[in-house]
Structure 1
Amino acid sequence: MSARNPGTDLDLGWISRVQVNQPAVLRRAEQIQTRRTVKKDWQAAWLLRAVTCIDLTTLSGDDTASNVHRLCFKAKHPIREDLLRAMNMHDQGITAGAICVYPARVCDAVQALKAVGCKIPVASVATGFPAGQTHLKTRLEEVRLAVEDGASEIDIVINRTLVLTGQWEALYDEICQFHKTCGEAHMKTILGTGDLGSLTNIYKASLVAMMAGSDFIKTSTGKESVNATFPVALVMVRAIRDFHRKTGIKVGFKPAGGIRSAKEALTWLSLMKEELGADWLKPDLFRLGASSLLGDIERQIYHHVTGRYAAHHDLPMA
């Protein structure tokens, strides 16, 4: 992982000056989505890069130790070995970026990854996921327990009420407490952008989260009615760019929720390269939160190698 974000003082003057030009953002987002994507070998290479940035996720009420174990095995072997050999990529150590689970499943994930000899991070959602509406003391304890169980990344959720009512100091103070409780674990801050009301609020919340020490800012929980969209992403990555210019601190970005196709993954990578540069095309600074995306990427790789599409039973499920 990249160096931790130590955080900065809260700059209310900067936050108060924020204005987002919504028509310009929407035009740019449309441009990104309609541009031709890379083809053939280049496309396959970009898809393998996308695989290394996936937080392979299971956040279901019926999660069990066995489906977490299966997910961990898939994280170590995300693409079939024979397909990687055909591309001469079998010895490049291609794995998923991380495993993301509920706090109660962290121990299962840590044990399963150890059993298969895989050192990718275990990320845990915490702080009253997905609503963030539980008492602060409870949310802090949830972070502490997840770290204690072996999570090396914590995906916290902010209290959206504080954004909607403009309580930036209270939001900053809460996130600072989560950051301190994370200890050595990297903190990814979920803004729940579908609940924030405006692009200006999204930019302001992004700034506050980064000032408070977030190592990543993340669009959504995947449980809101609107999750990762390109206009929202543009606002967030430009906040990251502005924060980096002003402080020298690099903060990562994670879109999550509703990202299911290989074509979408390529568009997300293009956005990162154009807006933030090549440094943000690595798992240290870019993650895709997804549970079903890997399946479509593997189908596209299969097609690239064999010239035909795989039947459902041809590829191991995650």
Structure 2
Amino acid sequence: MSRTASPAATAPFAEVTASDSALRRFLHGLPGVDPVGLEARAASLGTRSIKTTAKAYALDLAISMIDLTTLEGADTPGKVRSLAAKAVNPDPTDRDTPRVAAVCVYPDMAGIAAQGVKGSGVKVASVATAFPAGRAALHVKLADTRDAVAAGADEIDMVIDRGAFLSGRYLQVFEEIKAVKEATGKARLKVIFETGELSTYDNIRRASWLGMLAGADFIKTSTGKVAVNATPANTLLMLQAVRDFRDQTGVQVGVKPAGGIRTAKDAIKFLVLVNETAGPDWLDNHWFRFGASSLLNDLLMQRQKLATGRYSGPDYVTVD
């Protein structure tokens, strides 16, 4: 599967996005979601047991998929430098520990993050488009995006206008995603739906297809700033969407659950979801990420326990 999508790949859907009414008909014509069945399937997959050798592989894979994140008003250059250093060298006592996928910061910190990970292969992701609410004019959102890319961001995490989506103004959301995608240039675009605000699984499925039709490189559950963020059920639904989208278009899109994934046990459950739903092609940090700040420490502690037979505890990992 090529990692560069051809513009012609989504040609079968060109008529779908030609007008607001056509897009609405398509999105509302998607199969309805059975909430009970979806949640039961997610819960069932979460009970799968993993043996020691597979667990060691899963822990390293999960570490390599983390977007190590700090998105606080109190962020400082020093905190971002510290986070970048940890991203590049998560466990100073074990140089075989994988590096994380990316450091995720606000646009004004993207340059500092880029300096901190330079030459390491770790990406810089930056939230943009008036994160987390997305309440700004389009020209402001585009300027936000261009500033982040100019500062060194390799990836942009944008938020959709949930008000427009929930009001049924689907073409407006579609065009905004397209415009942001163009503004990212060579950077990859992750489109955040804020699933906790979309109310229904049907809306999450519609948002997933809308984002992919508009050119998202990733679809992402949440900002991490609301009460309900990533869950096994909403992530399972999005994995089904990217699988079906590739089947119909040949274009592969990544998935990023974010917010609330804090333990190695949780992360491994999500990896099982990926493998059993989308398939092994998505078990790679080019196609699957965890948006997290505290998850890395638990993964490191569990990794140390497998290596030494002892649980080292939180004092043996850095706080940032």
TM-score higher than 0.5:
yes
Paired amino acid for 1:23: V
> 1:10, CA displacement in angstroms?
6.2
Contact 1:128 1:139 in 2 (8 A): yes
Counterpart position of 1:24: 37
Q: Percent identity?
A: 42
1:254 aligns with 2:256: yes
Quote the Cα distance in structure 2 between the aligned partners of 1:214 and 1:235.
Answer: 17
Counterpart position of 1:3: 4
- Pick the aligned partner of 1:110 from 110, 114, 134: 114
Contact 1:188 1:215 in 2 (8 A): yes
Quote the Cα distance in structure 1 between the aligned partners of 2:213 and 2:205.
Answer: 12
Which consecutive aligned stretches of 4+ in structure 1 deviate over 4 angstroms post-superposition?
A: 4-7
Counterpart position of 2:215: 213
Contact 2:297 2:314 in 1 (8 A): no
Paired amino acid for 1:100: C
Unaligned runs of 5+ in 1: 85-89
1:59 aligns with 2:71: yes
Contact 1:10 1:169 in 2 (8 A): no
Counterpart position of 1:119: 121
Quote the Cα distance in structure 2 between the aligned partners of 1:170 and 1:204.
Answer: 14
What's the secondary structure of 2:302's corresponding residue?
Answer: helix
The change in CA–CA distance for 1:290 and 1:174 in structure 2 (over 3 A counts) is same
> 1:309, CA displacement in angstroms?
1.0
Contact 1:140 1:178 in 2 (8 A): yes
> 1:39, CA displacement in angstroms?
2.6
> 1:312, CA displacement in angstroms?
2.9
- Counterparts of 1:155-166 in structure 2, within 5 Å, are 155-166=157-168
Contact 1:5 1:213 in 2 (8 A): no
Quote the Cα distance in structure 1 between the aligned partners of 2:101 and 2:65.
Answer: 5
Contact 1:80 1:315 in 2 (8 A): no
- Aligned Cα root-mean-square deviation (Å): 1.6
Contact 1:2 1:285 in 2 (8 A): no
- Counterparts of 1:57-96 in structure 2, within 5 Å, are 57-82=69-94, 90=96, 94-96=98-100
- Pick the aligned partner of 1:150 from 146, 149, 152: 152
Unaligned runs of 5+ in 2: 17-22
> 1:310, CA displacement in angstroms?
0.9
Quote the Cα distance in structure 2 between the aligned partners of 1:31 and 1:60.
Answer: 35
- Provide the TM-score with structure 2 as the length reference: 0.92
Quote the Cα distance in structure 2 between the aligned partners of 1:79 and 1:5.
Answer: 39
What's the secondary structure of 2:260's corresponding residue?
Answer: coil
Paired amino acid for 1:292: S
> 1:311, CA displacement in angstroms?
3.5
Counterpart position of 2:53: 41
Contact 1:55 1:100 in 2 (8 A): yes
The change in CA–CA distance for 1:5 and 1:25 in structure 2 (over 3 A counts) is farther
Q: Could you report, residue by residue, the CA deviation over 1:260-288 in whole angstroms, capped at 9, with x for unpaired residues?
A: 00000000100000001111010110000
Counterpart position of 2:226: 224
The change in CA–CA distance for 1:158 and 1:277 in structure 2 (over 3 A counts) is same
